[in-house]
Amino acid sequence: MNQDEYKVSVIIAHYNAGDYVRKALDSLVRQTMNQDDFEVVIVDDKSTKSLDIIQEYKRKIKNIRIMIEEKNHGYPSIPRNHGIDNARGTFVMLMDQDDNLAHDTLMTFYKFAGNDSDVIIGKYAEGKMFNGTQVPFTKRTNIKDANIITDHILSTLAPHKMYRRSMLNEYNVRFYDSDYIPVEEDQVFNMKAYSVSRKISVLADKDYYYWNQREDFGNLGKSTTYQYDEPWKYLNILSEVFTIIEQSPKWDTLQQGKLKAMYIGRLFNSYGTVLEIIKRQKSSEQQEKLISGLRDIINTRMDSQSIEEVRQESQWIVLGIKYRLNYEELLHFKTELFSTNFLLRDNIKFVNSKTVREMTIKGRLSVIPVDFLKKNLF
């Protein structure tokens, strides 16, 4: 295992970035942390273009290394892993090739972490050309020991964070190969990191990370292969995240149930709803294979309490899949549920301060929370 020689190792997976990498490297030149205290590790995924621009920065950044992969992987997962494997910092900061940091990001993260924080999450910049959720940063309150559930940590699963390297190595926290997790690989990576971290810290008092949306939409990881176009891609990520939750040494059974509910609620309504993902499959057989696989995960790995805690925008579809609706039946279920005059119907009730609708799914009377639909109407 590499000994700590620096406070921070900044890892950048790179592929044909051209001039776009200048913004990232310029922001590292400007860091308030002394250049003796951090290194920059560029892991190039066998670019077809010259690396001359990166070479220029050897005169501006004291400790910069360029590693070149033996073959092109097409995904940042393996290059990031190789960067982590070769890092020599107490902390690892993962950064995309087209992004940039605030001038004090490295120093602020490092100081805030102290000796006990294993993951440090910084606020993303807001704006039309910036990506990234703003939860849990909306209160602009820094949190030294964030609660995985009440502080909405699952809302930020992108990899642009600082991680204690000893934690990553002790628990073998690495990105999965794209042959197994080709989509949202960062979600699985971060769930594993969260599941073993002593403390997760949040810095929300100002913008620290600029997750840039390029005008040419050519960001690393925007490949057409990043698509949920085969059932196994969607099923693997959900199954693996559930396994991580179940095997965590720090989360009890109650927390595990809540986290499963939070994650499936998020997955079913991000990067296209689950119905859109089902539609995207290449055949009706694959559509049914995906639905069947999701049903098996829901029925075997979620109890009734966990399902009740899924956010309303996703809970209805979880119940539809659980009770064996096929794709066409799920579409019909959605049409019926989202009918704009649903509040006038006799089967609307108010239970425990929630608006619910009683609906029959495959002969089973089910109670569907519908307060989220009211928000869309008024």
Work out the widest C-alpha separation in the chain, in whole angstroms: 73
CB-CB contact of 246 with 97 (8 Å) = no
**Nearest to residue 214, comparing CAs of 283, 129, 132?**
129
- Rounded to 5 degrees, what angle do the CA atoms 131, 136, 139 make? 110
Look up the pTM and report it. 0.94
> How far is the C-alpha of 253 from the C-alpha of 260, rounded, in Å?
11
* Distance separating alpha carbons of residues 351 and 370, to the nearest angstrom: 11
Of 223, 325, 225, whose CA–CA distance to 274 is shortest? 325
The pLDDT, as a whole number, for residue 219 is 47
DSSP 8-state code for residue 126: P
**Cβ atoms of residues 172 and 247 within 8 Å:** no
Q: How far apart are CA 208 and CA 206, in angstroms?
A: 6
DSSP 273: B
Query: What is the pLDDT, as a whole number, of residue 3?
Result: 86
* pLDDT at residue number 313: 93
Rounded to 10 degrees, the C-alpha dihedral 93/95/100/105 comes to -10
Q: Which of 104, 107, 138, 110 has the alpha carbon at shortest distance from 124?
A: 138
Contact (Cβ atoms closer than 8 angstroms) between residue 161 and residue 209: no
Look at residue 216 in the predicted model and tell me its pLDDT: 52
Run of H or E residues at 93: strand 89-96
Q: What's residue 218's pLDDT? A: 53
Q: Which residues pair with 67 in a beta bridge?
A: 43
- The full DSSP string for 338-373 is T-TTGGGSTTEEEETTEEEEEEEETTEEEEEE-HHH
Burial of 113-142, coded b for 16+ CB within 10 Å and e otherwise, reads beeebbbbbbbbbeeeebbbbeebbeeeeb
Domain range list for the chain: 6-210, 231-377
Structure tokens at 270: 């991000």
Residue 176 is inside which H or E element, if any?
A: none
Beta-sheet strand order (sheet of 64-68): 64-68, 38-44, 6-14, 89-96, 162-164, 119-122, 200-203
Rg (CA), the chain: 22
Q: Which CATH number fits domain 6-210: 3.40.50.740, 3.10.450.50, 3.90.550.10, 3.40.140.10?
A: 3.90.550.10
Q: Name the nearest CA neighbour of 176 among 80, 289, 64.
A: 80
Give, in order, the Cα–Cα distances in Å from 27 to each of 32, 42, 65.
Answer: 10, 15, 17
Which alpha helices (DSSP H) does the chain contain, by range?
21-29, 52-56, 77-85, 105-113, 165-170, 185-196, 231-247, 253-267, 274-279, 284-301, 304-308, 312-322, 327-337, 371-377
Q: What is the pLDDT along the chain (378 residues), one digit of tens a residue?
A: 788 999 999 999 999 999 999 999 999 999 999 999 999 999 999 999 999 999 999 999 999 999 999 999 998 999 999 999 999 999 999 999 999 999 999 999 999 999 999 999 999 998 877 777 788 899 899 999 999 999 999 999 999 999 999 999 999 999 999 889 988 999 999 999 999 999 999 999 999 999 997 665 454 544 555 688 899 999 999 999 999 999 999 999 999 999 999 999 999 998 779 999 999 999 999 999 999 999 999 999 999 999 999 999 999 999 999 999 999 999 999 998 887 665 556 678 887 788 888 889 999 999 899 888 876 544
